[in-house]
Amino acid sequence: MAILAPPLLAGGVFMLERFVVTDREQLIMHARQIAQQAQIPSVQAIEQLIDADYRGWGFDRDGAVKLVWTSLETFSVRSVRFTKMYVEVSADRAQMHAGTIVEYSAGQFGDGHTSLIWNVEWIKRLAGWRILSADQPQQGLELF
């Protein structure tokens, strides 16, 4: 019986690692989901992650949703690549700092790419993690 203990323990640890998703991992998945939805574009999927009490970048929730709609109508996002991502979770709040390179098409203004740095505050609600606020993204290289 003792000979079975190490394989059973290893299997249990493997299963635990595969099926337990940490808050940090959930937030990273949400960030990647937003990037994918911006490429489709699907504002409704992004809108679901914006908290009812959103207060960031000078907007309430309705203003933030309108900004997402306008941005995705103006710029066709072709790809989003994360260069860095830092997430700090404390109880039901989290801070995310992410660097991205976004490739886009702006219709008659042509194609381009830009490097954007995002600072986002998340809050954990009963329905899951939601964006509580976000700073206006800054252009530039991610240096952390």
Domain assignment present for 35: yes
Whichever domain contains 64, its CATH number is: 3.10.450.50
Q: According to DSSP H, which parts of the chain are helical?
A: 5-19, 23-39, 43-47, 61-74
Task: List, for residues 50-85, the tens digit of each pLDDT value.
Answer: 999 999 988 999 999 999 999 999 999 999 999 999
**Does residue 143 sit within a domain?**
no
The average pLDDT across 18-38 equals: 91
Q: How far apart are CA 135 and CA 6, in angstroms?
A: 49
The structure tokens listed for 40 are: 């489709």
Please provide the distance, in angstroms rounded to a whole number, between the alpha carbons at the two ends of the chain.
51
Q: Coil, strand or helix: which one is 34?
A: helix
Flag whether 99 is in a domain: yes
Q: What is the pLDDT of residue 8?
A: 47
This prediction has a pTM of 0.83
Query: Is 6 part of any domain?
Result: no
pLDDT digits (tens, 9 = 90+) for 78-120: 999 999 999 999 999 999 999 999 999 988 888 999 999 999 9
Q: Is 4 domain-assigned?
A: no
The count of domains in the chain is 1
Query: Would you list the DSSP string of 1-17?
Result: -GGGHHHHHHHHHHHHH
3 within some domain: no
Instruction: Tell me how far CA of residue 38 lies from CA of 12, 41, 61, 79, 134, in angstroms.
Output: 38, 5, 18, 9, 16
Asked whether residue 11 is assigned to any structural domain, the reply reads no
The answer to whether residue 125 sits within a structural domain is yes
The boundaries of the domain holding residue 67 are 22-138
